[in-house]
Structure 1
Amino acid sequence: MAIVEFTIVPLGTKETSLSKYVANCHKVLEGEKKIKYQLTPMGTIVEGDLDLILNLIRKMHDVPFENGALRVSTSIKIDDRRDKNSTMEGKVKSVREKL
């Protein structure tokens, strides 16, 4: 199972607020039952099948264009661990146990 953090940034918009673009992107995630996700102040973290996640990010990358953005920058970080099962909660728990 992969854990992926990504940020989709619309550029060339008429206003500085981006929350409506983020909300529209998250509507794509809400319809997907096989992906667990967490919205953070600076991006989104998802866990699940890597191929499914990358397909969803591709769909979400198009959303700002559909809503008037002239340019979109998408950054993706992938943690694809195959020696054992890894989850978002497990990674945070591991750090907290060491504090």
Structure 2
Amino acid sequence: MALLEITVAPLGTGDTSVSKYVAACHKLLELEEGIKYQLTPMSTVIEGDIDRLFEVAKKLHNVPFQEGAMRVSTSMKIDDRRDKESTIHGKILSVKSKL
């Protein structure tokens, strides 16, 4: 299972708020099968098969265009671990166990 951290940012919208775009992205995520996701204050983390994550990332990148944005900047960070299973929940538990 891979993890993908994604930030999709519309540019040049004339508004400093992006929450409506984030909400639209999360509405899309609710409909996607085979993935888990978690909203964070600065991004969204998605868990699933690596090929599936790239498909979903492309859909998320297009959401602001569908909402009227004319330019979108998307940043992604991938954690694809092959030595053992990695999950969003597992990574959080690992850190909490060391606190």
User: What TM-score, normalized to structure 2?
Assistant: 0.94
SS at match of 2:13: coil
Task: Give the letter for the 1:8 counterpart.
Answer: V
Task: Give the letter for the 2:59 counterpart.
Answer: K
1:25-53 CA-partner distances (Å, limit 9, x unpaired): 11211101210000111110011101111
Name the counterpart of 1:28: 28
After superposition, residues 42-81 of structure 1 pair within 5 angstroms as 42-81=42-81
Number of equivalenced pairs: 99
Most deviating of 44-53 and 88-97: 88-97
Most deviating of 62-71 and 44-53: 62-71
Query: Identical aligned pairs, as a percentage?
Result: 63
Once superposed, which parts of structure 1, at least 4 consecutive aligned residues long, lie more than 3 Å away?
Answer: none
User: What TM-score, normalized to structure 1?
Assistant: 0.94
Task: Give the letter for the 1:72 counterpart.
Answer: V
Pair 1:86 & 2:83 matched:
no
Most deviating of 25-34 and 74-83: 25-34
Q: In structure 2, how many angstroms separate the alpha carbons of the residues matched to 1:16 and 1:95? A: 33
Gaps spanning 5+ residues in structure 1: where? none
Q: In structure 1, how many angstroms separate the alpha carbons of the residues matched to 2:94 and 2:66? A: 40
Gaps spanning 5+ residues in structure 2: where? none
RMSD: 0.9
Q: In structure 2, how many angstroms separate the alpha carbons of the residues matched to 1:77 and 1:91? A: 15
Q: In structure 2, how many angstroms separate the alpha carbons of the residues matched to 1:27 and 1:42? A: 17
1:11, distance to aligned residue in structure 2 (A) = 0.3
